[in-house]
Amino acid sequence: MKKYYFLLFAFFALNFSFYKAQESNFNYEIIYKFEMKADEQKLKANQKKLDSTFAKLGVSNEEGNRIAQNLVKMFNDNSSTFTLKANSYYSYFTSNSKISENSIDLIGRMSKAAGDYYQSFSDNKITIIRDYKGLDFTINDKVEKNWKITSEKKNILGKECIKAVSTLKPNTFAWYTPEIKTPTGPVEYGGLNGLILELVQGEAHYTAIEIKKLDSEPKIKIPKKGRLVTMEEYNKMVKESEKE
Q: How many CA atoms lie within 13 A of 144 on its CB side?
A: 19
Confidence band for 41, pLDDT divided at 50, 70 and 90 = low
Find the DSSP H helices in the chain.
Answer: 2-23, 40-56, 61-76, 104-110, 231-243
Across 112-125, average pLDDT: 86
Q: State residue 132's pLDDT score.
A: 83
Q: How long a stretch of residues is the chain?
A: 244
CA distance 168 to 230: 19
- Least confident interval from 1-15, 56-70, 206-220: 1-15
**DSSP E strands: which ranges in 77-134?**
81-86, 90-95, 116-120, 125-132
pLDDT at residue 19, rounded to an integer:
34
Give the pLDDT of residue 45. Answer: 57
pLDDT of residue 134: 81
Per mean pLDDT, which of 7-11, 23-27, 34-38 is the most reliable?
34-38
pLDDT at 116: 93
For range 51-68, the mean pLDDT: 68
Residue 92 pLDDT grade (very low, low, confident, very high; cuts 50, 70, 90): very high
Average pLDDT, the chain: 78
> For position 28, what pLDDT does the model report?
93
The 28-36 sheet, strands edge to edge: 147-156, 159-166, 172-177, 195-201, 204-213, 28-36, 81-86, 90-95, 116-120, 125-132, 135-142, 227-230
* Angle CA 233–84–151, to nearest 5: 90
Say what the pLDDT of residue 107 is: 46
Whether residue 40 has pLDDT greater than 70: no
Confidence at residue 150, expressed as pLDDT on a 0 to 100 scale: 98
Q: Is residue 31 pLDDT above 90, yes or no?
A: yes
d(CA 87, CA 26): 5
As beta bridge partners, residue 130 has 137
Query: What digits encode the pLDDT tens for the residues 169-203?
Result: 999 999 999 999 999 999 999 999 999 999 999 88
In percent, the amount of the chain with pLDDT more than 90 equals: 49
CA-wise closest residue to 191 among 221, 213, 168, 215: 168
What is the pTM assigned to this prediction? 0.74
Percent of residues in the chain assigned helix, strand, coil, to nearest 5: 30, 35, 30
Give the long-range contacts of residues 151-158, CB within 8 A, separation 24 or more. 156/197, 156/198, 156/207, 156/208, 157/197, 157/208, 157/209, 157/210, 157/211
